[in-house]
């Protein structure tokens, strides 16, 4: 576990300490938690993936991480600060690209800068500079030439690339992706894996990726967490020690598919209510 060595010296970037969340008071009184006993420590710059059955609490975990929901119990620290409300240091992208149809691609990407400080107050003055930045980012993900098109003129994969640019334009320290590639065909999905890999390699923001695709999680992440059925708990932590940089050929090796099979086994056990789900693994 080469990368884990760094854990001992640096404070974790994301630190969940025994976090529980019930969606409302009534559910809480009935002891009905959407996620429970979450202990998680993520290193600065680490790429983690979360997999688990539908409804297990993955999106809930994301809401907690961005401060959209406060825990019922426990504590969350991000970048050394307790989370007390919606976080500005993160960018998000979801399964549906959700670009605004009346704005061009570049104007969609610029949107966070119009909303988030410190950019907001200088937006009018620095618009040219910000627009250059947005255009550079779009170039980087292969959308050169599409900057001034409208979302409906782009394919699904292109729209998703633009959403990732929008999530990254304010240079967040953390990128949260909730099934961002779920709606795409296999080839486009793999293309976007590589784009995300390259952006992450270059900028080393923290990534939390929620996915149903185990191959995706193993290809991209440093660490994969498996969540159990509702109430959601992290029951397995798997370090992915495959060397980087990782190329798509890696996904055809035995080494790679062995890890995917291992994870598939854990998910299968959880879905059938088997042994794995009863033995929570507290990450170190």
Ligand X SMILES: Nc1ncnc2c1ncn2[C@@H]1O[C@H](COP(=O)(O)OP(=O)(O)OP(=O)(O)O)[C@@H](O)[C@H]1O
Asked if 19 contacts 76 with a C-beta cutoff of 8 angstroms, the reply is yes
Q: Is the peptide bond before 271 cis (omega within 30 degrees of 0)?
A: no
Q: How many CB atoms lie within 10 A of CB 230?
A: 18
For residue 134, give every residue at least 6 positions away whose Cβ sits within 8 Å of its Cβ, in sequence order, or none.
106, 109, 110, 147, 165, 169
**Binding letters toward Mg ion, positions 39-58, x by CB under 5 A:** -------------------x
Asked if 138 contacts 144 with a C-beta cutoff of 8 angstroms, the reply is yes
Per rule CB under 5 A, is residue 17 in the interface with Mg ion? no
Q: Which does 119 bind (CB under 5 to 8 A by kind): Mg ion, ligand X, none?
A: none
Question: 209 vs 47, 177, 243, 263, CA distance in Å?
Answer: 8, 5, 19, 16
For the bound state, the minimum distance from the C-beta of residue 258 to ligand X, rounded and expressed in Å, comes to 25
- Number of residues interacting with Mg ion: please give it, by CB under 5 A: 2
Per rule CB under 5 A, is residue 59 in the interface with Mg ion? yes
Quick one: 60 or 108, whose CB is closer to ligand X? 60
Q: Which does 8 bind (CB under 5 to 8 A by kind): Mg ion, ligand X, none?
A: none
The rounded distance, in Å, linking the Cα atoms of 266 and 42 is 22
Q: Which does 95 bind (CB under 5 to 8 A by kind): Mg ion, ligand X, none?
A: none
Q: Which does 144 bind (CB under 5 to 8 A by kind): Mg ion, ligand X, none?
A: none
Q: Which does 55 bind (CB under 5 to 8 A by kind): Mg ion, ligand X, none?
A: ligand X
For the bound state, the minimum distance from the C-beta of residue 227 to Mg ion, rounded and expressed in Å, comes to 11
For the bound state, the minimum distance from the C-beta of residue 275 to Mg ion, rounded and expressed in Å, comes to 25
Asked if 35 contacts 278 with a C-beta cutoff of 8 angstroms, the reply is no
Q: Do the bridges between strand 81-82 and strand 206-210 make them parallel or antiparallel, or are there none, so unpaired?
A: unpaired
Quick one: 109 or 210, whose CB is closer to ligand X? 210
Quick one: 63 or 166, whose CB is closer to ligand X? 63
Quick one: 206 or 230, whose CB is closer to ligand X? 230
The rounded distance, in Å, linking the Cα atoms of 55 and 128 is 43
Residues that bind ligand X (CB under 6 A): 23, 34, 54-60, 230
Is the Cα torsion angle 210, 216, 220, 222 positive or negative in sign? positive
Quick one: 25 or 202, whose CB is closer to ligand X? 25
Q: What are phi and psi of 223, to 5 degrees?
A: -140, 135
Quick one: 57 or 283, whose CB is closer to ligand X? 57
| Token pair in block for residue 165 | 């640019």
Site for Mg ion in 230-249 (CB under 5 A): none
For the bound state, the minimum distance from the C-beta of residue 122 to Mg ion, rounded and expressed in Å, comes to 35
Per rule CB under 5 A, is residue 95 in the interface with Mg ion? no
In this structure, the chain runs to a length of 284
Q: Do the bridges between strand 73-78 and strand 206-210 make them parallel or antiparallel, or are there none, so unpaired?
A: unpaired
Q: Which does 251 bind (CB under 5 to 8 A by kind): Mg ion, ligand X, none?
A: none
Q: Enumerate binding residues for Mg ion (CB under 5 A).
A: 58-59
């Amino acid at each position: 576990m080469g990368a884990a060595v760094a854990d001992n010296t640096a404070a974790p970037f994301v630190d969940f300490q025994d976090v529980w969340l019930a969606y409302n008071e009534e559910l809480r009184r009935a002891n009905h938690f959407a996620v429970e006993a979450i202990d998680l420590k993520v290193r600065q710059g680490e790429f983690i993936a979360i997999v688990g059955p539908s409804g297990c609490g993955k999106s809930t975990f994301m809401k907690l991480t961005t401060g959209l929901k406060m825990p019922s119990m426990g504590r969350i620290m991000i970048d050394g600060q307790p989370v007390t409300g919606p976080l500005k240091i993160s960018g998000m992208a979801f399964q549906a690209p959700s670009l605004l149809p009346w704005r061009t691609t570049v104007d969609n990407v610029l949107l966070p800068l119009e909303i988030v400080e410190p950019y907001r107050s200088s937006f009018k003055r620095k618009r040219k500079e910000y627009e250059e930045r947005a255009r550079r980012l779009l170039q980087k993900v292969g959308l050169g030439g599409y900057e001034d098109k409208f979302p409906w003129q782009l394919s699904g994969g292109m729209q998703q690339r633009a959403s990732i640019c929008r999530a990254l334009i304010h240079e967040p320290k953390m990128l949260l992706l909730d099934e961002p590639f779920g709606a795409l065909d296999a080839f486009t999905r793999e293309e976007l894996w590589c784009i995300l890999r390259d952006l992450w390699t270059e900028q080393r923001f923290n990534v939390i990726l929620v996915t149903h695709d185990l191959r995706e999680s193993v290809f991209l992440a440093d660490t994969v967490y498996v969540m159990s059925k509702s109430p959601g708990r992290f029951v397995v932590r798997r370090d992915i020690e495959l060397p980087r940089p990782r190329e798509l050929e890696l996904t055809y090796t035995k080494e790679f598919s062995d890890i995917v099979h291992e994870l598939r086994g854990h998910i299968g056990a959880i879905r059938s209510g088997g042994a794995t789900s009863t033995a929570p693994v507290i990450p170190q």
